[in-house]
Structure 1
Amino acid sequence: MDEKKYRFSNNKFNVQTWGEFNSIKTNKLIFIFGAGYGADFYFQNHSDDIVGIIDNDESKHGHRIDFFVDEISLKRCKEKKVLDVSVLKQYKNDNLVILIANLNAAEQIAEQLDSLGISNYYSLLAMEAIKRKSIVLAKDQIVNHCLLTECTDEIESNKLIFYSTGGYFGHGKYIAEQLLKQRRNLDIVWVVTDLKIEVPKGIRLVYWKNKRKYIHEMRTAKIWVHDDMVPLYIQKQSEQIYVQVKHWSSITLKTFGFDFTTFRKDNVEIEMCRHNSKMMDYIITGSKFDTDTCRSGFGFKGEIVQAGSSRSDVLFNETKYRQKVKKHYGLDDNKKILLYAPTFRYKLGGSNIREPYETNIDYELIIEKLVNKFSDEWCVLLRLHPLVSHASKSITLLDYVIDASDYSDSQELVAAADIMITDYSSIMFEPAYVRKPVFLFAPDRKEYINGERKLLIDYDTLPFSIAESNEELTNHIGNFNREEYVIKVDEFMEKYGVHEDGHASERSAKFILDLIDGTRS
């Protein structure tokens, strides 16, 4: 590789070749280290049978290997589930050869294997880099090889593929569960980024990093139901139908799509919006305001189905979800719940980097005021935005403040809560659909509105009290008048055409079934 020969600090990787690997693996027990793109690439280009696939990611352990790599692996691996590295302790070094297929941590894995006394290891990326004289070209080839494969599979008329920002929640969740109730012969596929997700019987999962399988499912599904953008490398065929359901309810405070990306001058996101706008066939919205803003934000001129907010249906079944959430967190039946759900901020100077924002909310002062105003015992559920939820683990919380950032479905938390405090998150509107009290705590109000995110609604016209300090917030709680609040919310919802009734998912499911049956006019 000339002047770029030594690309790795581990010199073994700078001289390894496929010829050497193929020679040494004879009569050895082969393990692949890394359940991902590299392993998939190997199975597609080599015919060896191996013992199994090892990975350091504990969340992958015990899952079937074909969840992460091409299903051909099931025929070629003795062990059908992802293994922990400890499995190697039962073998002698001379009997082993390890192919490190992880593309990002090969040198760290090499150190790990050295510590176990295992020296016969090879880096797939390094060998491909030597072969192609470029580590960049090698990685691109490994990651994107599945994109270059022509799809000859036919579209399946009863297959639907759902994506809800990588998890199992949102409008799609409730639409899918309605579909399961109404039709048994549907093949419902759910795209996930989190391996811990549990879904109802009748829904099968595809891991988004298993690109070959993910692309296959996308190419063969008759209906796409997405609440976010479809990647640029996915192209819809003319016989397929793309239904966009977006990831907010019947009204949103902040700009999105073209209205947001042009505001931030993010060319990559603008291209993503163009790509999706061209492919969308329908958008399901929840209100007249939602319809108008979706036309602008998505640049969409096609048909819009104003069915309501499917994810908000749970709010009309409060008792069920209050019991579920309290049981999950071990809360007494008589305990009242304050849900605090601040949104994220964009990192200063970063075009698309999100970070949590420390509002310095005074929980003690607020709980004291809630007890004085409403009596009863109170606890707080802290719900950070899913994009920054990991940050909650580093926050020191009081005994009565529970970290609910990793709870799978925020709408269930809204249904369980008695009161909500938020800032600029559009989740603020959902408790108001059933007239629960909402208070806004926005200490960085001027900075956010003037530079962080353009709003679709004048912040001062919202039907909720706005506080920029803890003292102001507790005063609003102490002065809360339910009758006046309900009147304000009623007028606001009427103005924006929001009329939630708890049956939006039924209407949306019927619409999608009509598409499947070809009866949609």
Structure 2
Amino acid sequence: YPRNDLLYADDQAGLISEIKARLDIPADKKVVLYAPTWRDDEFIARGKYRFDLQLDLNEMQARLGDDYVVLLRMHYLIAQNMDISGHEGFAYDVSSYGDIAELYLVSDVLITDYSSVFFDYAHLQRPMIFFTYDLEKYASTLRGFYFDFEAVVPGPLLKETDQVIDYIEQIDTKSVAYQEKYDRFLERFCSLDDGTASERVLAELFPSTAQSTIEDETTETE
């Protein structure tokens, strides 16, 4: 996917520093990205949506705040109802941030659930946590899955905030248990990406332009 080319950028360290500065994230803090899926039943009336953040930010800040910040990437229909006051400097609302790939790049760990974001984030080969507090309901009555979710996803399925925090506090050792599963996931879903998808798309859509660009780059290099 062209959108994932950024995840294969050569100067990742430089890009991460730039993005952190843009978001006003301290350079010495690790980053947790929480990007859950949209739930169809999160509405009060037509055009009105409720929001219930299931992660306990108070507990997360108390236990992780010295080393981490949390980026919250919510669906636009509910993001406007999110209140993170009192968590300034720890929780950041990045729901309207333009390019989610930049948020992937700057994050050290992803917390998601059934969202397709984990297919993209996996390219970075960084730890993922699946916060599936409503797994049974989602699987049976809300949407369901088109593959064996529990068997395929390369990370733990957790239902409580304290479980999520415990995992993050020991993430280097705990994530090792999912390495084999992660490798299978990468081979199945990520093996065709190499950071040059945009170039190949341009070559197919505008072959003459793409060839000219390649020739110009070659001349400049020489």
Task: Answer yes or no: same fold by TM over 0.5.
Answer: yes
1:503 aligned partner = 196
Alignment of 1:340-351 (within 5 A): 340-347=34-41
Structure 1's 428 and 356: CA in aligned 2 closer, same or farther, altered over 3 A?
Answer: farther
Distance in 2, Cα, partners of 1:479 & 1:511: 46
The equivalent residue for 2:158 is: 467
User: What's the counterpart of residue 314 of structure 1?
Assistant: 6
The CA deviation at 1:381 is: 1.0
Is 1:448 aligned to 2:138, yes or no?
yes
Inter-CA distance 332–443: structure 2 relative to 1 (3 Å threshold): same
| Correspondence for 1:361 among 51, 55, 60 | 55
- Confirm whether residue 412 of structure 1 aligns to residue 99 of structure 2: no
User: Is the 8 Å Cα contact of residues 359 and 443 (structure 1) preserved in structure 2?
Assistant: no
> Per-residue deviation at 1:436?
0.9
Q: Any residues of structure 2 matched to 1:116-515 within 5 Å, and which? A: 309-317=1-9, 318-347=12-41, 355=49, 357-367=51-61, 370=64, 377-392=67-82, 394-396=83-85, 398-399=87-88, 400-461=90-151, 462-480=153-171, 481=173, 482-496=175-189, 498-514=191-207
Q: Which has the higher contact order (CA 8 A, sep 6+)?
A: 2
Distance 1:427-1:356 versus aligned 2 partners, 3 A rule = farther
Q: CA deviation at 1:456?
A: 1.8
CA distance in 2, matches of 1:493, 1:465: 16
* CA positional deviation for 1:498: 3.4
Structure 1 segments unaligned to the other structure (5+ residues): 1-308
Q: Describe the superposition over 1:198-252 as per-residue Cα deviations: whole angstroms up to 9, x where unpaired.
A: xxxxxxxxxxxxxxxxxxxxxxxxxxxxxxxxxxxxxxxxxxxxxxxxxxxxxxx
* Post-superposition offset of 1:385: 2.0
CA shift in 2, pair 1:507/1:368, >3 Å: farther
- Please state how far the C-alpha of 1:358 moved relative to its aligned partner: 1.7
Gaps of 5+ in 2: 211-222
C-alpha displacement at 1:496, in angstroms? 4.1
The 1-side partners of 2:122 and 2:204 are apart by 27
| Cα distance between partner residues in 1 of 2:160 and 2:154 | 19
**Do the aligned residues in 1 keep the contact of 2:37 with 2:115 (CA within 8 Å)?**
yes
Partner residue in 2 for 1:186: none
Indicate the structure with greater helix content: 2
CA distance in 1, matches of 2:125, 2:107: 12
How big is each residue's C-alpha offset from its partner over 1:312-342, in whole Å with a ceiling of 9 and x where there is no partner?
Answer: 1111233243223212122222121111112
How many residue pairs get matched? Answer: 203
Q: Distance in 1 between matches of 2:16 and 2:208?
A: 35
Judge conservation of contact 1:347–1:353 (CA < 8 Å) in 2: no
**SS state at 1:420 partner:** strand
User: Per residue, is there more strand in 1 or in 2?
Assistant: 1
Query: Residue 213 of structure 2 corresponds to which residue in structure 1?
Result: none
TM-score by length of 1: 0.35
- Per the alignment, residue 53 of structure 1 pairs with none
Cα separation, partners in 2 of 1:390 and 1:463, compared to 1, 3 Å: same
User: Match of 2:105, SS?
Assistant: helix
TM-score (norm 2): 0.78
Q: CA RMSD in A?
A: 2.9
Q: What is the SS of the residue equivalent to 2:130? A: strand
Return the alpha-carbon distance in structure 1 between the equivalents of residues 115 and 49 of structure 2: 14
Q: Which has the larger radius of gyration?
A: 1
How far residue 362 of structure 1 moved from its aligned partner, in angstroms, is 1.9
CA positional deviation for 1:463 = 1.1
**8 A contact 2:51–2:81 mirrored in 1:** no
Checking the alignment, whether the CA contact within 8 Å between 1:335 and 1:379 is kept in structure 2 is yes
Structure 1 counterpart SS, 2:206: helix
Q: 1:349 to 1:340 in 2, by over 3 A?
A: closer
Residue 499 of structure 1 and its aligned partner are, at CA, apart by 3.4
Give the fraction of aligned pairs with identical amino acids, expressed as a percent: 28
**Is the 8 Å Cα contact of residues 344 and 356 (structure 1) preserved in structure 2?**
no
Read off the aligned partner of 1:476 and give its amino acid letter.
Answer: Y
